[in-house]
Amino acid sequence: MGLTLQFVPYFEIEKLSSLGRIRKLLNAVKEGNIVLLEGRLTKEEEAELIKTTMEEINSDFKGIELAVIYPESHNVDFFKKMKQQLFNAILGDRQGLTILGPASIVKEIKKDPNKIQLFTSDPKSSGRRKKKRRG
Amino acid sequence: MIKLVKKFMKKVFRDLFRKRKSLKLGLYGPPNGGKTTLANRICLDWLGEEMGSVSNIEHETREVQIKEKITVKKGSNELSFSLVDTPGIATRIDYEDFLKKGLKEAEAKKRAKEATKGVIDAIKWLDNMDVVIVVLDSTKDPYSQVNITIIGNLAARDIPVLIVANKTDMKKSSVKKIKSAFPQYEVIGLSAKKGTNSEEFYEALFAIAG
CA–CA distance, B181 with A72 (Å, rounded to integer): 11
Q: For residues B36 and B85, is the Cβ–Cβ distance under 8 A?
A: yes
Domains of chain B by start residue, with CATH = 22-209 (3.40.50.300)
Cβ within 8 Å, pair B156-A109: no
| pLDDT given for residue A83 in this prediction | 73
Q: Hey, is A66 helix, strand or coil? A: strand
CB contact under 8 A, A57 and B141: no
A2-59 pLDDT, tens digit per residue, is 789 999 999 999 999 999 999 999 999 999 999 999 999 999 999 999 999 999 999 8
Number of H helices, E strands in chain A: 4, 7
Name the residue among A65, A74, A112 with its Cβ closest to that of B92.
Answer: A65
How far does B107 lie from chain A, in Å, by closest CA?
A: 15
**Shortest Cα–Cα distance, B34 to chain A (Å):** 21
Per residue in B135-173, pLDDT (tens digit) is 999 999 999 999 999 999 999 999 999 999 999 999 999
Instruction: Report the gap between the CA of A61 and the closest CA in chain B (Å).
Output: 9
- Provide the pLDDT confidence category of residue B66 given band limits of 50, 70 and 90: very high
Handedness of CA B14, B16, B21, B26 (dihedral sign): positive
Give the pLDDT confidence score for residue A1 in this predicted structure: 63
| CB-CB neighbors (< 8 A) of A103 in chain B | 91-92, 94
Interface pTM, i.e. ipTM:
0.85
Q: Are A51 and B118 in contact (CB under 8 A)?
A: no
